[in-house]
Amino acid sequence: MAELDTSSGGGHKKGPGVKKAKKLSTKVDLTPMVDLGFLLITFFLFATTLNEPTTMNLAMPKDDVKDQDLTKIKESGALTIVMGKSNQVYYYLGMDPTKLQSTTYTQLRSVILNKKQTTPADDLFITIKPDKDATYENVVNVLDEMTIDDIHKYSMDNANDVEALVVQKTEEANGIK
């Protein structure tokens, strides 16, 4: 605990026969303060809840799917998003990949919302196709757009040969390496 030091403070006199007053010094023992600190740290560790990881639900198709079980989509409600390299994103409406259009990730929301407004809710289906050169961050950004834009029916697939060729030719024409 705290204690007082009552020893004399040096012994210099200012005049003949004058005694100097004793200086008292205090020394504080910090051991109980350290104990209190550890008790508080322990309390807050047990009293707080740790962050739970946020995950996205992923529905995987079954391996034994027959043709009659496949989801049929209308061409008028189809939107396909193809992600290329160098943060490029392409899309086409319907089923014709030769009508590929280019946009940016910041403008992708307006493309999706425009398609959502012009298509009945039951007919809208978006297919996301990342290219082999697309980054993981861009894939996550597009999946986040589906959640933000409240799109319930979408799927991820690999780009077919025609789509990959059209994207490659578009990127070469635009000088993207």
Q: Domain residue spans in the chain? A: 73-174
pLDDT at 61 over 70: no
With bands split at pLDDT 50, 70 and 90, how would you rate the model's confidence at 131? confident
Asked if 82 and 168 touch (Cβ cutoff 8 Å), the reply is: no
For the whole model, what pTM was predicted? 0.62
> pLDDT value at position 77?
87
Which CA distances in Å does 11 have to 26, 27, 98?
Answer: 19, 21, 101
Q: Supply the CATH classification number for the domain 73-174.
A: 3.30.420
pLDDT band of 30, cuts 50, 70, 90 = confident
Alpha-carbon gap, residue 132 to 136, rounded angstroms: 10
First-to-final CA distance of the chain:
73
Task: With a cut of 90, say whether residue 105 has pLDDT above it.
Answer: no
pLDDT value of residue 14: 62
What pLDDT sits at residue 81?
93
- Lowest-pLDDT range of 17-21, 129-133, 136-140: 17-21
pLDDT attached to residue 4: 56
